[in-house]
Structure 1
Amino acid sequence: MAQVLKEEVRNRILDAAEKVFYKKDYRSAKLTEIAKEAGIPVALIYTYFKNKEVLFDAVISSVYLNFESAFDEEESLENGLPSERFVEVGESYIHELLKERKKLIILMDKSSGTKHTEAKQKLIAQMQVHIEVGLKRQSKKEYDPMLSHILASNFTEGLLEIARHYQNEEWAKEMLKLIAKCYYKGVESL
């Protein structure tokens, strides 16, 4: 019974921290605000989490981005246009990511002052490499790497805009489909 209560308190702290980090950001969020949101004394947070940074890490851990495996899987597909490979592999990964959209936004937009400050830039860099691989695969022409960087930045920001303005799962799927269509039709025209 005590273990169930401990897990319930830990989950209340995590839920409260997610709300506070989402509303504010890492730097301006206070443990006292998180404790108040969770309905517990602030000292109890330290029973479960060493400090605010460890709590932040626990909040975002389920969405910490490593697109490399999805990119590798997509790149390993031998047949099909880039848009078809995205539908086969990447789309489902992004749908899962959007289910955790508040945590994604916390990681990408509200992590200044943590070891995750560069998460968005790391994602863009991973995506840039993926785009460069795709361009080399489909075209004999060599493009300035800035093109891949711009495309990666725009796609990442589009994904984040879907997360920031999320209405429901169906809406998010439709918006992702439209953004991917615009993106891939543009890339496939090169």
Structure 2
Amino acid sequence: DSEYPIGDHPIYKELSNKPMPKQRPLQVNFGFYIESLGNFRSTEMTFDVDMYLYMSWQDETYKHNQSDYILISDKDILDKMWLPGLYFANARTAYFHDVTVHNFNLFIAPDGTIAYGTRVTLNVACNLFLQDYPLDKQVCGIKVLSYAHVKEEMNVTWFSDGPIRFNPAINLPEFHITALESSYCDGLFHYTITKNSSRIGW
């Protein structure tokens, strides 16, 4: 791997106000590694999850002639780069980790493929059905959407191989994890443009 301080690599000169890559639709793959899971609150209908979010896409303007990946681990550089702008639609709160440093890494392959990973903690809303308690079975989801781009502009899909993985040491006192599954949202979303207009996307 090659790591450069701010300003030393030619790619840095291309980062200022970086627009979205030109490919349409831009293919963005993503997945999770769930580090911890718990605090299911029946009164608030929420649970907490600490996880690593991984994304990958290609930006041909970042092609380079290094023999290996270029590592970006400086937050000042990351802030100048275009990122897919995914968000967690059913999260009540969310935050990124920055102790002792910002918890992320980003690799740029010679062909411009970008691999980005970051750690995030969420408090997620989940409707719990407790009529069968204590023999109840709950299904809770984490909804991930693009904040600004419709499907014709950016196609967000799960990684094809093991998109959701979890720490086998997770131990829930009241629940037993039976499955972690990936699926896709099925519905229309309105992206507001002005007070009286919106874009419709999937």
Task: Give the TM interval when normalised to the shorter protein.
Answer: under 0.3
TM normalised by structure 2 equals 0.26
TM normalised by structure 1 equals 0.27
Structure with greater strand share of residues: 2
Structure with greater helix share of residues: 1
Higher RCO (CA-CA < 8 Å; seq separation 6+): 2
